[in-house]
Amino acid sequence: MPADHYKEFALRTLRLAACALMFAGGQSAWAAGQPASDPGLAPTVAADLALEADVMELSHKLRCLVCQNQSIAESNAPLAVDLRDQVREQLAAGNSKQDVIDYVVARYGDFVLYQPPFRASTAVLWVGPALLLFGGAGWLAWRLRRRQEEVAADHGLSAAERERARALLAGADEAAPKSESPESRS
């Protein structure tokens, strides 16, 4: 009787393995017909692959106004989807990539670009970090120089203070004057 039990178990296992292989084979056949895409990016919509490549190229250059740390190609926010659709419609209508960028910038401002142009309004974005870096380095150099001057101006210990310090370091308790209390020394 136990042999029949093992035979039945083996048949169930084989059937399960056959089903798993058929399912996996069907999945790979289905996936072979699908274009490979990055799961972190928005799905492709246009049937024209060249148009969709241009849409994705421009979408990587435009910032999502909702997420602000993702491009509209990476974001699934409703505004990002709408912007991708606008980019796709503009390119499908025959506008150049620069025309599409100009349209989006005119509508949303330079903030929508990941690399804003150097203008008077964006000068702080380009020059600000360098100014902060050099300003901080200049302040640090000035402060270190002043500290050296302060140390040099302090002539150090007098001869009596040096002798007392040596005695304290040597462990001689008699070097400390008995008349002074700890509160009066400070």
Distance CA 12, CA 109 (A): 65
Q: What share of the chain is helix, strand, coil (3-state, %, to 5)?
A: 65, 0, 30
- Please provide the DSSP assignment of 47-113 as one string: S-HHHHHHHHHHHHHBB-TTTSSSBTTT--SHHHHHHHHHHHHHHHTT--HHHHHHHHHHHH-GGGB
CATH code: domain 49-112 is 1.10.8.640
Domain boundaries, the chain: 49-112, 123-171
Distance CA 81, CA 151 (A): 63
| pLDDT score at 38 | 54
| pLDDT score at 34 | 44
pLDDT of the chain, 186 residues: tens digit per residue: 456 666 777 667 767 666 666 666 554 444 444 444 555 555 556 567 888 899 999 999 998 888 878 889 888 889 989 999 999 999 999 999 999 999 999 998 888 888 878 888 878 878 999 999 999 999 999 999 999 888 777 777 788 888 998 999 998 655 455 555 555 555
Conformational region of residue 2, where left means phi above 0, alpha means psi within -120 to 50, and beta covers everything else: alpha
Within 8 A by CB and 6+ apart from 90, the residues are 99, 100, 103
